[in-house]
Amino acid sequence: MFGLFKGDPKKKLDKEYKALLEQAMQAQRSGDIRKYSELTELAEAKKSELDRLSSVD
C-alpha cells in the first residue's frame, strides 16, 4: 500500500541520464570539450546503473 506513492527509480535515472546527455551536447556545441567529456562520463555511469536495475527485474 505504501509503495503506491514511491517513485520509480528507473524513471528517475532515465530522466537524469537524458538531462546529462543534453548538457553534454550543449557543452560540445559551445566548444567546451573537457566539460563534454565529464558530462558524458557521468551519463554513462547513470546508464550502467540503469542497465543494472533493468537486469534485476
Asked if pLDDT for residue 41 goes beyond 80, the answer is yes
Domain count across the chain: 1
Query: What span, in angstroms and rounded, lies between the C-alpha atoms of 2 and 12?
Result: 19
Cell numbers 553534454 label which residue? 24
Q: Which region, left, alpha or beta, applies to residue 31 given φ > 0 means left and ψ of -120 to 50 means alpha? A: left
Residue 56: the pLDDT is 75
Which residues form the domain of 29?
Answer: 2-56
State the Cα–Cα distance between residues 47 and 13, nearest whole angstrom.
Answer: 8
Q: What pTM was computed for the model?
A: 0.83
d(C-alpha 33, C-alpha 26), whole Å: 10
| 4-38: pLDDT as tens digits | 667 788 999 999 999 999 999 999 999 999 999 99
